[in-house]
Structure 1
Amino acid sequence: MNLTERLNVARGLGPINEANTPAIHSVPTHAEHDPLDSRPSGGGGGALAGLKQRAGEALFERMGSRLTDSNLSEEDLRKTAREELSQVIDEEQVPLTPEERRRLIREIGDDVLGYGPLQRFLDDDTVTEIMVNNPNQIYIERGGQIILADARFATETHLRRVIERIVSKVGRRIDESSPMVDARLEDGSRVNAIIPPLAVSGPSLTIRKFSRVPLTVQNLADFGTLTPDMAILLDACVRARLNILVTGGTGTGKTTLLNVLSGFLPPEDRIVTIEDAVELQLQQQHVVRLESRPANIEGRGEVSIRDLLRNSLRMRPDRIVVGEVRGGEALDMLQAMNTGHDGSLSTVHANSPRDAVSRLETLVLMAGMDLPLRAVREQIASAVNVIVHLTRLRDGTRRVTHITEVQGMEGDIVTLQDAFVFDYSAGVDSNGRFLGRPIPTGIRPRFVDHFAEVGIKVPAHIFGSATQEKGRR
């Protein structure tokens, strides 16, 4: 019985069948595209490099306004560009082999219509992050490991042009007066760019890629990120309308897990998502997606996460999903959780569940309200029910290392109780991969009583045997 079947049994839906269960998609290993769009390594020397530069400039002149014509589809634009480019190369009268000609057309097409030397990494589903330190240094993350790529930009201007192409598509801008920007690609991948004078070594670009096919809970179980028992528990927590906080450091997979948890939301619920840059890929139909907006060149028009969170309370949401809290909006989120908007989901940067509570305290104080610390802690203890903590281990894998219940207050301390913790005692294999896995602490969370009240059954064995009380902090 696979994880989907176990979840259905836990929900009381009976055997899995095609009529009542969504398909489990596997992540494709290679992008499907026109053979002419396969990306060779960047570079090229001597005459070919000069020809590439001249042909690219000539193509820009020939295409003119058609490059930004919204009436032209991407396919028509690429077809027209290839035809024009073939004529440009013919006029150059430089002897080329068929392979050199195809390579030249592909690379110039990437420069003019795509994202230059980054395009082949964007098309490669095994690449999860692209980091451009400067025009001559591009790193990529593949399989959790960071490696130096065999590609580079021709000039700093070339890199600037790619950055401007990315940010302009989402209505953002980047220049000397606004040298930092957060943006996204068409597939939802997160982009951060920073240029001189803030970036001393030249423009820098970071792209956090997202899967073309949204990952499912089965995928995370296959990757070893969580166990089937943990998935059953989290599914029950979401359906029981517990408020869940996903925590972890940078690049640990918080947004990916948040997206998977959102897949447990009932299809009849009205869901409002609030993000800095739209990344979540919710599969439900009744969803309203809100995205913050930075200030314009005059410093006006900014719409913050906090503004959107306040507005969402007037939109009759059943569930509020905040991509990440990193400022004063933490106070508004806690108040929403405490005033009838149960079942909300969000993420926050932290190194452990206990650190997450401390960080929430700090973020609430950033709201500018002169609140006593005990009142803040009482808000946190009352609002947040479950903390799910992710860690990126030294072998590059992302694992859920804690599922922690927020039990309440003891004196001035918010009490936490682990239901699952990661067992490091198994050591590592010959390849340096951790052999450990999350294990139950043997402690039955108090919110299991709430499951019974709302008619949700969770097998008692998933919590292990309560031979000793451990995991309490």
Structure 2
Amino acid sequence: MSLAKRVHQAGLEIQDPEFENMRALKDEAKRALLERVGLSEVARIAEAEPQSAREELRPAVEAVLNTAAPSTMEAHQRDELADRILDDVVGLGPLQSLLEDDAITEIMVNGAGSAFFERAGTLHPLGALFESEEQIRIIIDRIISPIGRRIDERSPLVNARLSNGYRVNAVIPPIALDGPLLTIRKFSDRIGTLQELVALRALPEWYAQLLSFAVRLRQDLAVAGGTGSGKTTLLNALSSEIPLKERIVTIEDSAELRFDHHPHVVRLESRTASIEGEGAVSIRDLVANALRMRPDRIVVGEVRGAECIDMLQAMNTGHDGSLTTLHAGSAEETIVRLTLLARYGIDLPSDLIEEQIAMAIDGIVMSLRRADGRRFVAGFSGVSRAAGGGVRLTEYVSFHQADASWALIQEPVFIEDACRAGALSWEEVEAWRRSCPSA
């Protein structure tokens, strides 16, 4: 059974004889290829651009298969075997076809004996993709070497971003007890606007319009949700509503945001320390530096540490309309988490930090992934100062998870204020109000 078929039929963890026979034939053909072309020449070709390297080596691979492959092998099987050999020699081996499948969003290798992939928010088993732990190590080195990173016993884990934007995490023994671990998260560029999320039924049209109003009116928004809930996708869609005349500075741990249609975007990415422990540039460093870059908006891919206090201060010092994400399961939990993260950066009582949050953040938009894998833009809550101090949350939009339905609980005050100030026209607001469901 081919890898493509195993992906298609994922859910059955079986090792069929056909797959094992093809694997043995592939290994034999690879050895013959190295003998025919020479190890040094293959290494030279493999350093070239992947597609050109494949084209240069393919005639030699086909010549080897003419001798090594049985005469009964069908043409499509021969072509697939040639592709798998080239994947091993100049690509990423068994992972290559998974990376080329746009429907697959994440790949997880758990040592030589287990691998999974995520499609449509659901995990599927692939069984044993690799023959040995050494083969996984070779693939890891092939992934991270071109971007100047390395992994060894002194530095047994690495986080990196590939040139195509994919995020890679690798962990090796002795930290990884069951063999080398490799996780690759793919970020699709197919979703870049709120309207595309509407088309996917991740939120209704009226809700998308409300969020568009919020971004256009320079509301400071935090997108919160769990891992894999679609926070980055939603943040990217919200960012597409920023007017084209504004200057945007993005700050990320691994650059994932896309601004393909915006003319004035400056992208910054943090950097970990070298193997000598030097050269680290943190998110906090970048947030502080961004304030000197004359930004109209600051977009922080995710706050997870001391940079939180800098982000809040930036929102409080004239950079309205800034956006960020963080891990939290509800609007209330978001406030608690922001408070804890801010205390990493400044030693102040919680009530004072909550005052800072109440003045900095205008709204919290929740991103949610259901058990069936579907992702939704869930609730939307306003953030303001409570009468007695601290934070008051006002629910604007509620989301009912069971039947995936939304309701407008309360119209945000900023809508009416914007109409009075002339930032929104009464006509477009009235049209929006007519499209909204009742609570």
**Of 460, 463, 467, which residue of structure 1 is paired with 2:433?**
460
Q: Deviations over 1:368-401 (max 9, x none)?
A: x221222211110000001000111122111122
> What is the letter of the counterpart of residue 61 of structure 2?
L
Partner residue, 2:404: 436
Distance 1:381 1:55, change over 3 A: farther
Match of 1:62 in 2: 41
Shift of 1:95: 3.8
Instruction: Say which of 207, 217, 222 aligns to 1:240.
Output: 217
Q: Please report how far the alpha carbon of residue 134 of structure 1 lies from its aligned counterpart in structure 2 after TM superposition.
A: 1.6
1:305-335 Cα shifts (integer Å, max 9, x gaps): 1111111111111111110000000000000
Query: C-alpha distance in 1, partners of 2:99/2:216?
Result: 35
Q: Choose between structure 1 and 2: higher helix proportion.
A: 2
The separation in 1 between residues aligned to 2:102 and 2:374, in whole angstroms, is 17
1:61–1:318 Cα change, 3 Å: same
Deviation digits for residues 82-123 of structure 1 (CA, Å, limit 9, x no counterpart): 133334546x65545344432322111111222211121211
1:364 aligns with 2:377: no
Aligned pairs for 1:83-98 (under 5 A) are 83-89=59-65, 93=68, 95-96=70-71, 97=73, 98=75
Q: Measure the CA separation in 2 of the matches of 1:148 and 1:101.
A: 26
- Measured on the aligned residues, the alpha-carbon RMSD in Å equals 2.3
Taking the TM superposition and a 5 Å limit, the aligned residue runs for 1:209-228 are: 209-228=186-205
Residues 258, 347 of structure 1: 8 Å contact kept = yes
Partner residue of 1:314? 292
CA contact (8 A) 2:300 2:325 kept: yes
* 1:181 aligned partner: 158
- Describe how 1:70-219 pairs up with structure 2 within 5 A: 72-89=48-65, 93=68, 95-96=70-71, 97=73, 98-149=75-126, 152-219=129-196
SS of structure 2 residue aligned to 1:44: helix
Larger displacement relative to structure 2 (155-164 or 143-152)? 143-152
Specify the code of the residue in structure 2 equivalent to 1:134. G
Instruction: Structure 1 unaligned segments of length 5 or more: list them.
Output: 1-37, 425-433, 467-473
Q: Could you give the per-residue CA deviations for residues 191-248 of structure 1, whole angstroms, max 9, x where no partner exists?
A: 2111111111111111222224344322211222111111001101111111110000
Question: In structure 1, how many angstroms separate the alpha carbons of the residues matched to 2:76 and 2:404?
Answer: 49
* Aligned mates of 2:385, 2:264 — CA distance in 1: 33
Find the aligned partners of 1:371 and 1:227 in 2 and give their Cα distance: 41
Q: Distance in 2 between matches of 1:175 and 1:246?
A: 36
DSSP 3-state at the match of 1:366: helix
Aligned CA distance change for structure 1 residues 423 and 178 (closer, same or farther; 3 Å): same
- CA drift at 1:341: 0.7
What is the TM-score of this pair, normalised by structure 1? 0.82
Q: Give the deviation of 1:162 after TM superposition.
A: 1.3
Judge conservation of contact 1:56–1:108 (CA < 8 Å) in 2. Answer: no
- 2:15 is matched with none
Asked if the contact 2:34/2:42 (under 8 Å) is kept, the reply is no
The question of whether the paired residues in 2 share the 8 Å contact of 1:272 and 1:312 is answered with: yes
Structure 2 Cα separation of the partners of residues 279 and 52 of structure 1: 39
2:189 and 2:236 mapped to 1: Cα distance?
13
Deviation at 1:436, TM superposition (A): 2.9
Question: Deviation string for 1:244-272 (max 9, x for gaps)?
Answer: 10000111000000011111111111111
Aligned CA distance change for structure 1 residues 285 and 135 (closer, same or farther; 3 Å): farther
- Contact 1:139 1:149 survives alignment (8 Å): yes
Q: Are 1:449 and 2:416 counterparts? A: yes
Task: Give me the whole-angstrom Cα distance separating, in 2, the residues matched to 1:76 and 1:53.
Answer: 19
Residues 225/214 of structure 1: CA separation in 2 closer, same or farther (3 Å cut): closer
Code of the residue aligned with 1:323 in structure 2: it is G
Greater mean alpha carbon deviation, residues 381-390 or residues 77-86 = 77-86
Distance 1:57 1:248, change over 3 A: farther
With normalisation by structure 2, the TM-score equals: 0.88
1:390–1:166 CA distance, 2 compared to 1 (3 A): same
**Residues matched between the structures, number:** 415
Aligned AA (1:80)? E
Q: Is the 8 A contact 2:26 2:84 kept in 1?
A: no
Aligned AA (1:83): P
